[in-house]
Amino acid sequence: MAKSPAADTVPRHVAIVMDGNGRWARKRFMPRGIGHKAGVDALVKTVQAVSDRGIGYLTVFAFSSENWKRPEEEVSGLMSLLIVALSKHLTKLKSDGVRIRIVGDLANVSEKVRNALLQAQDETVHNSRVVLTVAFNYGGRWDIVQACRQAIEAGVPASELDEAALSRFMAMNYAPDPDLFIRTGGEVRLSNFLLWQSAYAEFYFTDCLWPDFDGVELDKAIASYAQRERRFGDVGASGEGVGAIGSGGSWDEFSGEGA
């Protein structure tokens, strides 16, 4: 097993586009559904790896608002797999201190799927070791639009609507912005995931297909992250100033209620 990264180089929040399930299955001459099942197993292992490394937040792109364009049979299979996966793994995740949070537009999701997601969220509400956010029927543009609508409905004057004000209405207002954004499967794009929140994230793209992702692959991503100098607009020439790794906001900012 790869050596765990030093605590001062570990990101607080990791976001992952879990890509490559279908290609993983195709390489093995298996149906795409088998790849998605293997992807669930990879997610469970990754949650444990994240917890072992002291990462407090993990956000995964489970189903995008664009995924409805896929064949009906595949979409139906994904919905069924979600329900089965929650039934199979929820008890273990709960006992491991994982808090599940759901972000996305659930209005157009079937009642059965919506209830399963919300039940998982409710049953883990008191956990705090790792906050696992599942982005389901989510899109970054949708998130920005819904935040704007909420701000308008709340009566926020246009003159007072700045970044800080709008951030309070974003779907993930309970979490720090992602430090490390990982995409598996070899593609190099955001695919409308966490557009607002990833403004200063460090990006890591890997050819590893999602079902093959594990703690070793996570450590590779963290090692790459640790080599970056995060400047947040500052010069950061010394590597020890405002822009250095680990010099962002205090963890305590996000350790209170709602985290």
Active site residue 108: no
Catalytic residue, from 8, 19, 127, 207: name it: 19
Residue 181 backbone dihedrals phi, psi, to 5 degrees:
-110, 115
Tell me which residue of 25, 118, 112, 36 sits closest to 73, measured CA to CA.
36
Catalytic residue, from 67, 127, 212, 214: name it: 67
Give residue 47's identity as a one-letter amino acid code: V
Active site residue 67: yes
Distance CA 24, CA 10 (A): 29
Please give the positions annotated as active site: 19, 67
